[in-house]
Amino acid sequence: MSTPGRGLHGRVLDSLGPAITAGEYPPGSVLRTDELAQHFAVSRSVMREAVRVLESMHLVESRRRVGVTVRPKAAWNLYDPQVIRWRLAGADRPHQLRSLTVLRSAIEPVAAGLAAKHATAEQCAELTECALGMVANSRGHKLEGYLVHDMAFHRVILVASGNEMFARLGDVVAEVLAGRTHHEVMFEDPDPAAVTLHVQVAEAVREGDAARAEQLTREITVGALQELDILAP
Amino acid sequence: MSTPGRGLHGRVLDSLGPAITAGEYPPGSVLRTDELAQHFAVSRSVMREAVRVLESMHLVESRRRVGVTVRPKAAWNLYDPQVIRWRLAGADRPHQLRSLTVLRSAIEPVAAGLAAKHATAEQCAELTECALGMVANSRGHKLEGYLVHDMAFHRVILVASGNEMFARLGDVVAEVLAGRTHHEVMFEDPDPAAVTLHVQVAEAVREGDAARAEQLTREITVGALQELDILAP
DNA sequence: GTGACATATAAGTCTGACTTTTTGGGTCTG
DNA sequence: CAGACCCAAAAAGTCAGACTTATATGTCAC
């Protein structure tokens, strides 16, 4: 997927990051740079670079005379794509997927409303193309093809919103959608109602109908919440 | 505010980070580790650690035989609190503040709705206390006191939502609120209507009325958008 | 008990030598 | 002239070792 093993320090991170985010080292645990370097069979300089990165993600804190202490989850940079990936690969994947789906349900409707106002002709075309791709793959065990167009659809919406913060969530949404298809309960074929909603959102955006685009997208996200039994009855 | 100068590499970052996020080095610019180390009068190891951190924020990419190239803004980790702070300190502060306010307008109403369902008795008490604090500081040039309670109020809402992703936006919202008070147009005293809305949100959350909490918070964020002339007329 | 002081510890820093990857160019060949 | 191929330079990457600095903690006098 991303960039595995871009140097020695990267491989150390691929090992330490998931371990920490999985709670293998409980908050307050103290690690020593030297010991870690030995354990991973790398030099201290490499180990230090890895620790610096973990520190920039607020996963750990390095203090003199103390060592490298693991910080509580409340301090972690949960929006760091790397951290998201590590956590999605770990044990609390379901919990993580729920949090992100709720986040989606807040963001995407607003983004769709903005997209209806700001989308370029080109983006509208892309959107329609994605929706058609979803329709074409909505029947007959074509989950992978469906997923590709679904991810592209939502990414275009987020980018077309014109808000840089929304646009940056494209990767997160893609992860959630992929996670749902690959690891969670996903019925043989997608819900036809959901497919229709996507087509209608593309329409609404094309016509510049912000309120309708927002409302329709809200229905999509409500469906996503229901799939995970998040909505209270 | 945060942690200034936690070591040499930190001071290098405090200098390089703002420069890059300000666009001082346009995307594609190539930096050399050795030259940078000389320029900042630090050793290569320190410089390398700084570069690693910038790399983890996707601000730059380090490749052999090429150097450290600045990545386009679309790749940046815009949710990294450090990046947010750097950008808020730079030239495009107004633009940044707008993006974040739109983000707030999407998140906070949903968070308030969830808070109405999940808030503990203690959190309800905190919320009421914050609202009262806002009322007490709403008249007579007590902007600083008002700001403190305003920041606390929104932080409690985000945490009480029970969603970890929302909770992590507490710092961002605080930055936005502080920015509005300190650098942007802020009238002598806060809008009385906004103060009332906060009190009502606290009420709604206490009573577990999710729909009302969400709607009232939406009105608050609409006000914030209007202050920045974001809403189309 | 309290405060000043000594000490051990682990991170922080610097330096210099060496390795590895990559790219751009130059050369050879068809 | 085009394409394949090889070489050398360049820059990041890695390592080892010596030294510096901050600081938690224990000790001792008062």
On whether any CB of chain A is under 8 Å from the CB of B82, the answer is yes
- Distance from A97 to chain B by nearest Cα, in Å? 11
CB contact under 8 A, A53 and B48: no
Please tell me the predicted confidence (pLDDT) of residue B11.
97
A40 pLDDT more than 80: yes
By the 8 A CB rule, do B181 and B143 touch? yes
What is the distance between the alpha carbons of residues A188 and A143, in angstroms, rounded to a whole number?
8
Q: How confident is the model over A188-193, as a mean pLDDT?
A: 88
Structure letter (DSSP) for residue B63: E
In order of their start, the domains of chain A are 8-75 (1.10.10.10), 92-227 (1.20.120.530)
pLDDT in tens, B209-228: 999 999 999 999 999 999 88
Is residue A66's beta carbon less than 7 angstroms from any atom in nucleic acid strand D?
yes
CB contact under 8 A, A77 and B73: no
Name the band, by pLDDT with cuts 50, 70 and 90, for residue B116. very high
pLDDT in tens, A172-190: 999 899 988 887 666 678 8
* Chain B residues whose beta carbon lies within 8 Å of the beta carbon of residue A106: 106-107, 109-111, 166
Mean confidence (pLDDT) of chain B: 94
Please tell me the predicted confidence (pLDDT) of residue B182.
84
- Tabulate helix, strand, coil % of chain A (nearest 5): 65, 5, 30
Name the band, by pLDDT with cuts 50, 70 and 90, for residue B180. confident
User: With pLDDT > 70 as the criterion, what percentage of chain B qualifies?
Assistant: 95
Mean confidence (pLDDT) of chain A: 94
The interaxial angle of helices B143-160 and B121-136, nearest 10 deg, is 160
Q: How confident is the model over B54-66, as a mean pLDDT?
A: 97
CB contact under 8 A, B57 and A56: yes
A20 pLDDT more than 80: yes
Q: Say which residues have a Cβ less than 8 Å from residue A125's Cβ, sequence separation at least 6.
A: none
CB contact under 8 A, A102 and B80: no
Q: How confident is the model over B17-36, as a mean pLDDT?
A: 97
Which of B45, B78, B81 minimises the CB distance to A45?
B45
Q: How confident is the model over B106-120, as a mean pLDDT?
A: 98
**Chain D nucleotides with an atom closer than 7 Å to a protein C-beta:** 9-18, 21-24
The gap between B39 CA and D9 C1' (Å) is: 24
Please tell me the predicted confidence (pLDDT) of residue B6.
83
Decide which of A6 and A209 is more confident.
Answer: A209
Q: How confident is the model over A92-96, as a mean pLDDT?
A: 91
**Positive/negative CA dihedral, A111, A112, A118, A122:** positive
- Distance from B3 to chain A by nearest Cα, in Å? 11
Tokens at residue A146, please? 């469906």
* Nearest residue: Cα versus C1' of D16: A43
What is the distance between the alpha carbons of residues A79 and A81, in angstroms, rounded to a whole number?
6
The gap between A164 CA and C7 C1' (Å) is: 54
CB contact under 8 A, A110 and B105: yes
Name the band, by pLDDT with cuts 50, 70 and 90, for residue B185. low
Nearest partner of B12 among B75, B27, B38, judged by Cα: B38
Residue numbers in B 56-115, CB below 7 Å of strand D: 62-68
Q: Which chain A residue shows the shortest CA-CA distance from B230?
A: A114
Please tell me the predicted confidence (pLDDT) of residue A187.
63
Please tell me the predicted confidence (pLDDT) of residue A229.
80
Which of A9, A111, A164 minimises the CB distance to B78?
A164
- Distance from A190 to chain B by nearest Cα, in Å? 26
Structure letter (DSSP) for residue A220: H
Which of B52, B106, B110 minimises the CB distance to A9?
B52
B23 pLDDT more than 80: yes
Tokens at residue A232, please? 């209270």
Please tell me the predicted confidence (pLDDT) of residue B225.
95
The gap between A51 CA and D24 C1' (Å) is: 22
Please tell me the predicted confidence (pLDDT) of residue A232.
59
On whether any CB of chain A is under 8 Å from the CB of B100, the answer is yes
**Positive/negative CA dihedral, A116, A122, A128, A133:** negative
Backbone phi and psi for residue B62, each to the nearest 5 degrees, phi listed first: -105, 120
Tokens at residue B107, please? 């998140």
Please tell me the predicted confidence (pLDDT) of residue A121.
98
B184 pLDDT more than 70: no
Name the band, by pLDDT with cuts 50, 70 and 90, for residue A92. confident
pLDDT in tens, A128-168: 999 999 999 999 888 999 999 999 999 999 999 999 999 99
Please tell me the predicted confidence (pLDDT) of residue B186.
65
B124 pLDDT more than 70: yes
Chain B, 147 to 166: residues with Cβ < 8 Å from chain A are 163-166
